[in-house]
Amino acid sequence: MSKLQGKVALITGSGRGIGRALASKLASEGARVVVNDLDEAPAEEVVASIKKAGGQAVACAGSVTAPGFADRFVEAGMGTFGGLDIIVNNAGYTWDSVIQKMTDEQFQAMLDVHLVAPFRILRAAAEPIRVLAKKEAQEGREVFRKIVNISSMSGTGGNAGQANYSSAKAALVGLTKTMAKEWGRYKVNVNCVAYGFIDTRLTQAMENEGTKVTIEGRELQVGVPGATRKMLPAMVPLGRAGTPEEAAGAVYLFCIPESDYVSGQVLLVGGGL
């Protein structure tokens, strides 16, 4: 039997990159997946791909920072599939600047997407998890649920030009460790994966004006300066960037039964950094 057969997994930011790779991975192991992306088209595309491969999935598009999103997201899992077993808080982006040029809006935006949104999603999931766990305990069953928050090595070690992003990602580690203590009684494992250099659109080399994305009405430049991008592989002991599939594999480790006694931990995924 597949390791995640029948489980219900909610993954934010799963229309592209690491989130997409993870959605496909969990679905291939039997999980029923709620796919989220800021835009509807990528989310529906991932859902179609999972269904074509014989899996089950549903889309829940929209910004994780939008009012009411957390309740809608949790309901997508509970209402569609009747359960809630795995939550991965993966959605996010970068908006870099040195501190003297960083605006309040820029700093707050990173807190909102990387910290406040995961907090709201976990808060919305609290009552369903409590009710499910109580029922299972009364039946004499021990069922483990999995929360994986996606941080960054910018949050564990800092990174120049990312005071906003690194602060939010560091705070997410604190939320992770607190929830591991609060939800242990419900048999919920709460862990964190902190990524280093992973090959996604956020780490592509900036050429001329770089890659621009539109997020919540803002046109933002994302990527890494070309000269820095060329140096990065040499800084990684394994000699290259990680792939989205490799990054997803680290999250998968926290979702399977083999990690049922692991909670409150931060796994660095940086190729040896």
Active site residues: 165
Cβ–Cβ under 8 Å, residues 26 and 33: yes
Residue 132: count of CB within 10 angstroms of its CB = 18
Backbone angles phi, psi at 148, to 5 degrees: -125, 115
Tokens representing 147? 């929360």
Q: What phi, psi does 268 have (nearest 5°)?
A: -85, 125
Query: Cβ distance 39 to 50 under 8 Å?
Result: no
Give the separation between CA 158 and CA 204, rounded to whole angstroms. 20
> In sequence order, what DSSP letters do the residues of 16-46 get, joined into one string?
SHHHHHHHHHHHHTT-EEEE--SSHHHHHHH
Query: Looking at residue 113, what DSSP letter applies?
Result: I
| DSSP structure class, residue 223 | S
Question: What SS3 state is found at 212?
Answer: strand
Closest CA to 221 of 230, 232, 212: 212
- Write down the residue that tokens 């950094």 correspond to: 273
